[in-house]
Structure 1
């Protein structure tokens, strides 16, 4: 599944910015609930590479 800039991040993790042809541009760390950052060019998108694992807080 791919995501567009400005969409809400569905799961925290490392996302790869990809061209319209699926080539890797760069990787970014995104946090669930925040918005994906702008891409280098129009039409580029993000794809999840590695999901973050959250540990429950002690308390």
Structure 2
């Protein structure tokens, strides 16, 4: 979780730059977005999904 967050924060400035050569860095925004979405899914969605699917034992 911390690794994904630090990588996203570190790559964010490079992904939104408008300087020379920024066209090469634009696909990096997809990677940053994927890491952020993956972290959100890991923290919020999957625990709720597992709780919903969990079978109650007697």
TM-score (norm 2): 0.21
Larger helix percent:
2
* Larger of the two Rg values belongs to structure: 2
Higher strand share: 1
Structure 1 length-normalised TM:
0.21
